Amino acid sequence: MAATAKKRELDFSAFPPGAVTEYSTLLCLACIFDIFTKQLGLAPRTAYSEIKRHSPGIEELTAPAASRPYFDSEEKNPRCPYCDAAKRWHARLDTYRIEGGKSTDAARRALLKTLPKADEQFQIHEAKSDRRALLFEWLDTMGRNFDFEDDRWLVEAARAYLERIEPKTDWSEVFKDLRAVRRSQRLEEGWERDGDRLYLAPALYNDALLVQYLVSRSHKHGGRTFEGRLTLMELVRRMRYSGHLDAQGITERDQFEVFEKLVEHLVGGEGAVKLYYVVDRRDFLEKVKTVYARYAT
């Protein structure tokens, strides 16, 4: 009775925002069966057990652009871009990346305990990274998802940054019906909401500008920020005259060295980070079974 109504979604509510990144891709089983039976000459039964054991690599599962036999589609009834197979041949693979650390260790252990163990419905991979690489990945992901034609991305970028550094705050409440984000003239640190405006202390505001710059920069035109379009030189000059560089203890004169220091500050220090990838293979295992039944007859 309840077996068919089992809950599919994993619950990440115990994790701070930003600690879990979700990736989703489609795998064309028609393409895979084709490779195993036609190109490698395996009997369907052997192909089936090989495919069932298939453990997809993290790189394939999290790549920004998928390649055969993986593909991405937002459509309701997509067709495989390689072999035109219909939806019943596609398996969905969801991957969740959890950043290791004090704020997530307990929640992660609790979550992993709840996952079913049979048939490797879930596979866990561990990897090492560092804060700087994660920061730039985070910026890249934002840059791919923003609509730069619509200036609302500027506020979204500021919010994403605040969520990253202050994960415990309920930012959806703070940003509710917000009209503008401004540099505060009186706060020395932190932020405050006043009417429909959010005021950020200068240091926080400057960090938000830097995030916006990094997300939108292009070599020719600089980056876009709350303060308009800025080249690197303009951004550095603005931070110098506003006292931000002094406040951060940045004494370099060369703009590229200053930039490097500003990024370092945003990274929040050197440091290795352990990453845990949870791969949800449930849909894959079910689809492989039904596809094989179809294939073998």
State the residues that interact with Zn ion by CB under 5 A.
Answer: 28, 30-31, 80, 82-83, 85
Please list, residue by residue across 194-222, b when 16 or more beta carbons sit within 10 angstroms of its beta carbon and e when fewer do. eeeebbbbbbbbbbbbbbbbbbbbeeeeb
Q: How far is the CB of 74 from Zn ion (least distance, A)?
A: 18
C-beta closer to Zn ion: residue 75 or 188: 75
Q: How far is the CB of 263 from Zn ion (least distance, A)?
A: 41
Q: CA–CA distance from 296 to each of 1, 43, 144, 177 (Å)?
A: 30, 9, 41, 57
Compute the radius of gyration of the chain from its Cα atoms. Answer: 23
C-beta closer to Zn ion: residue 8 or 76: 76
Q: How far is the CB of 287 from Zn ion (least distance, A)?
A: 13
Q: Which contacts of 167-176 are long-range, i.e. CB under 8 A and separated by 24 or more positions?
A: 167/16, 167/17, 167/18, 167/19, 167/103, 168/16, 171/17, 174/198
C-beta closer to Zn ion: residue 27 or 155: 27
Q: How far is the CB of 93 from Zn ion (least distance, A)?
A: 15
Q: How far is the CB of 57 from Zn ion (least distance, A)?
A: 18
C-beta closer to Zn ion: residue 19 or 91: 91
Neighbours of 120 (CB within 10 A): 14
Contact between residue 111 and residue 14 where contact means Cβ atoms under 8 Å apart:
yes
Please report how many Cα atoms fall inside a 13 Å half-sphere around the Cα of residue 131, on the Cβ side: 12
- Among the residues of 126-185, which ranges form H helices? 131-145, 152-165, 171-174
Q: How far is the CB of 61 from Zn ion (least distance, A)?
A: 17
C-beta closer to Zn ion: residue 83 or 106: 83
C-beta closer to Zn ion: residue 31 or 262: 31
Q: How far is the CB of 91 from Zn ion (least distance, A)?
A: 11
C-beta closer to Zn ion: residue 30 or 58: 30
For strands 197-200 and 191-194, give the pairing: antiparallel
Q: CA–CA distance from 3 to each of 6, 7, 97 (Å)?
A: 6, 9, 28
